[in-house]
Amino acid sequence: MHPESTSKTPAAQAFRPALALLQRAARPDLHHLWRAIIWLVLAALLEVLGPIMGKALIDEHLLPHHLDWPRMAALLAGVVLTGWIASGLRYLQLVRLSGLAMRSVMRLREMVYSHVLQLPMAYFDRAITGQLVSRVTNDTEAVKTLYIQVLFVMLDSSIVLIGTVAAMAWLDWHLMLIVLALLPMVLLIVWLYQRWSAPAVTRARALRSDINAQMAESIAGMSVLQASNAERRFGQRFARTNQDHYHARLAELRANAWLLRPALDLFNIILLAAVIFLFGQRPMTAAEVGVLYAFISYLARVIEPLIQITMQFSQLQQSVVASARVATLLDETRADDHAGSAPSAAATDGAAVSIEHLSFAYHPGTTVLHDLSLQIASGSYIGIVGHTGSGKSTLLALLLRYYTAQQGSIRLYGTPLASIANQRFRAEVGLVPQDPFLLAASARENIDMGRGLSDAAIEAAARAAHAHDFICALDQGYDSPLGEGGSRLSVGQKQLLAIARALAGQPRILLLDEATSHIDSQTEQIVQTALDALRGRVTVIAIAHRLSTIRDADRIIVLNHGRIAEQGAHEQLMQINDGIYQRLYLLQQLAA
């Protein structure tokens, strides 16, 4: 960052990215903007014309008593009509700009959402859900305000301002210069106002974000929250944030009500008094009366746009900061596109997964996996066990490409993980996560997950996962809505559905992350049968806390502090006296 820019306000720093973002979102509609500008210039010209015709009416007809009725009527009609047409034009342009704004926001939301979908998993480790949701909804809405209120008012007011100052110069450039010399007062008022209100504006926005975040967090963890009898404490915390937000908004409004508006109104009166005073200094000829009339009319047209422009500043600050936040989110590097080659079919007889000297740390200095090497034969069933924190999920996350290891390599069928194209990779590798994550949609949609699979493929996957029977028993079969998070299903059923979802993609490698930890022994048996049926066809890598799940695995890998401590089939590992696996197994037997 440039050293000077650190002293600027957040809004000033954010201005460039905000503007670039607006341009990007409005690009397909920019011709509308140009047309709107042309029509607004025309409207401003018409407005400027009104007082000139009024001046002509006074100077040429009323004062000299030259009662040329048709011309007077024409001038009067001109004064009325120009104002009327100018208002009409302005209204039409507002509609045009509103359309542009809506479409831009729509585009922006799509852009942000699709970007979020492609962010690397590491991003979500530090992201707060409520804030992210707020980016996609509130902040993009603030961008709309930037278009409609700010751009429109600023554009319109600037055009009116320029037109009016030009007309004043034409009437009496001396007087115009005096008026112009007084105008920097407005800038001073605005500067003071900004200084006073900026902290409150920033605070109010941050607190609104907090309100969203607290709400989202509470809803996500409602069961834990209620079970811990924490409703009161959470309610109080929310009330505090809400009150802080109210006070921040109040401070913002106070700055507006106590400083901006009164100061600007006072300035308006001073300017008017100055013009009348200056006119009073001159010998008043008849022609001066018309000029005075036109000047006073124009004064309102100078002051009002200036007030309008300044009044938009707080909105501008908010919107620019919001746009910059959206821009920052869009600048987050997406997960690598991995537009590489497909895993070579020729290498299929070799290892499905080959891990060599793999070391990984989430944060520098705290290595989680140490120099791991592992060959997993195609079609084999591998179990991964180990104490909490031994690195099982981390290994899975690396296999899923959520993170990239700092050292060593992972190959799938001989191809380095990084060089497998994304779509290909997702087709090759299926995942059954610990939390099955079901959409509030039908069973069919939950298995399909937008892949456009045929009904037959969906049913085949459900049968393979032993989910077909319970799905058929639902009132609308595959079309039964499952409720939010699959609330209509038992935990075991959700898990079977998640397995069906993974199998529907016909993966060659299936990763299970403690898929049986929440289900009863009977359902575990069903899952076990489903997995057994895949033997030889699909390489299964299963993390399991419950060792009964992986007892029959071809090989069990025991992780300890990020290193492979033991490996072998169940019987082999049970032979290792005082081994980690043996102890874990015996402990679980005892607990059972």
Ligand X SMILES: Nc1ncnc2c1ncn2[C@@H]1O[C@H](COP(=O)(O)OP(=O)(O)OP(=O)(O)O)[C@@H](O)[C@H]1O
Binding site for ligand X (CB under 6 A): 125, 362, 368, 386, 388-394
Nearer to ligand X, 71 or 546 (CB): 546
Nearer to ligand X, 261 or 545 (CB): 545
Helix (H) or strand (E) holding 434: none
φ, ψ of residue 137 to 5 degrees: the values are: -100, -70
Nearer to ligand X, 154 or 361 (CB): 361
Nearer to ligand X, 340 or 433 (CB): 433
Taking the complex as a whole, the smallest distance from the CB of residue 39 to ligand X amounts, in Å, to: 54
Q: For the packed helices 184-220 and 231-254, what is the interaxial angle rounded to 10 degrees? A: 170
Q: Which residue has the tokens 């007892």?
A: 551
Nearer to ligand X, 56 or 385 (CB): 385
How many whole angstroms separate alpha carbon 52 and alpha carbon 295? 9
Taking the complex as a whole, the smallest distance from the CB of residue 548 to ligand X amounts, in Å, to: 16
Taking the complex as a whole, the smallest distance from the CB of residue 124 to ligand X amounts, in Å, to: 9
Q: Are 115 and 329 in contact (CB under 8 A)?
A: yes
Nearer to ligand X, 84 or 362 (CB): 362
Taking the complex as a whole, the smallest distance from the CB of residue 217 to ligand X amounts, in Å, to: 18
Closest CA to 428 of 540, 344, 505: 505
Nearer to ligand X, 93 or 394 (CB): 394
Q: What is the four-CA torsion angle of 418, 421, 424, 428, rounded to 10 degrees?
A: 0
How many whole angstroms separate alpha carbon 564 and alpha carbon 372? 7
Taking the complex as a whole, the smallest distance from the CB of residue 493 to ligand X amounts, in Å, to: 23
How many whole angstroms separate alpha carbon 144 and alpha carbon 107? 11
Taking the complex as a whole, the smallest distance from the CB of residue 438 to ligand X amounts, in Å, to: 21
Nearer to ligand X, 203 or 561 (CB): 561
Taking the complex as a whole, the smallest distance from the CB of residue 363 to ligand X amounts, in Å, to: 6
Nearer to ligand X, 280 or 364 (CB): 364
Nearer to ligand X, 318 or 393 (CB): 393
Taking the complex as a whole, the smallest distance from the CB of residue 394 to ligand X amounts, in Å, to: 3
Q: Are 182 and 270 in contact (CB under 8 A)?
A: yes
Please give the full DSSP string across 128-141, using - where no structure is assigned.
-HHHHHHIIIIIHH
Six token digits for residue 499: 């397995």
Amino acid identity, position 157: S
Nearer to ligand X, 212 or 390 (CB): 390
Taking the complex as a whole, the smallest distance from the CB of residue 574 to ligand X amounts, in Å, to: 21
Please give the full DSSP string across 323-377, using - where no structure is assigned.
HHHHHHHHHSPPPP----BPPPGGGGGSEEEEEEEEEEESSTT-EEEEEEEEEEE
Q: What value does the CA radius of gyration of the chain take, rounded to a whole number of Å? A: 35
Q: For the packed helices 173-182 and 286-331, what is the interaxial angle rounded to 10 degrees? A: 40
How many whole angstroms separate alpha carbon 25 and alpha carbon 310? 25
CA count, 13 A, side-chain hemisphere, 382: 24
3 SS3 class: helix
The dihedral built from the CA positions of residue 259, 265, 266 and 267, taken in this order, carries a sign that is positive
φ, ψ of residue 303 to 5 degrees: the values are: -70, -45
Taking the complex as a whole, the smallest distance from the CB of residue 247 to ligand X amounts, in Å, to: 36
How many whole angstroms separate alpha carbon 137 and alpha carbon 117? 15
Distance of CA 128 to the CA centre of its chain: 11
- Sheet containing strand 407-412, strands side by side: 367-377, 351-361, 407-412, 415-416
Q: How far is CA 172 from CA 147, 175, 453, in A?
A: 36, 6, 76
